[in-house]
Amino acid sequence: MAVIVDKPWFYDMKKVWEGYPIQSTIPSQYWYYMIELSFYWSLLFSIASDVKRKDFKEQIIHHVATIILISFSWFANYIRAGTLIMALHDSSDYLLESAKMFNYAGWKNTCNNIFIVFAIVFIITRLVILPFWILHCTVVYPLELYPAFFGYYFFNSMMGVLQMLHIFWAYLILRMAHKFITGKQVEDERSDREETESSEGEEASGGGGAKSRALANGHPILNNNHRKND
């Protein structure tokens, strides 16, 4: 937000293309690009050693498409549009990571509340703002200023790939939200059953004690309804 909130194209998206392709790059935009590009490269390398979930292939496609988009937008001087797109994605990502941390810490109530906020922000930003504002800005406005060229079609095609992935993940998020609202046990919709059972087996083999008990907002609680092992 510090990079884009004071920029005129944040409020009037037609200004994204004002003076294109001759647009200067300021230091804050440069560092935002470098940090974001480094972050997604790190995700692409680390995903190979992470737990493989149902959306493993989609994650690979997403990271590759994002790296290509960031790199191409830099070379094609789509930097104003690029900063808007990156900020839009970052607006919900930190909420998901926060929910994960509280989940690992055992603060289930806090995790669930943050997840609800994340789901709302994700739906609004990636299924409403992105297709109806950002994509409109990158698809319609440029044609008013110059004829379409290869970069125009390539950039918007990659944006279309991201949008399809957003729809897929929104479906998984809504399924999790439905389970939460109906009071069912909420698990990561991307997890395979074998993975879940393997994790439970590892926890069981780790022994009992206060450290291995379930936690509610940081405090150990007793649960006499554990599922018996087969």
Confidence band, pLDDT 50/70/90 cuts, at residue 226: very low
Number of structural domains found in the chain: 1
What pLDDT, in 10s, does the model give residues 24-58?
899 999 999 999 999 999 988 888 777 777 778 88
Average pLDDT rounded to a whole number, residues 107-133: 92
On whether residue 146 sits in a domain, the answer given is: yes
| pLDDT computed for residue 125 by the predictor | 95
Confidence band, pLDDT 50/70/90 cuts, at residue 208: very low
Provide the CA 73 distance to its chain's centre, in angstroms. 19
On whether residue 196 sits in a domain, the answer given is: no
Percent over 70 (pLDDT), the chain:
79
Provide the CA 137 distance to its chain's centre, in angstroms. 21
On whether residue 45 sits in a domain, the answer given is: yes
Find the helix packing angle between 79-105 and 56-75, rounded to 10°: 150
What pLDDT, in 10s, does the model give residues 136-194?
999 999 998 888 889 899 999 999 999 999 999 999 888 888 877 776 655 555 554 44
- Asked if the model's pLDDT at residue 204 lies above 50, the reply is no
On whether residue 30 sits in a domain, the answer given is: yes
Query: Facing residues of 216 across strands?
Result: 107, 219
On whether residue 207 sits in a domain, the answer given is: no
Of 123, 132, 116, residue with least CA distance to 166: 123
Residue-number span of the structural domain to which 81 is assigned? 8-182
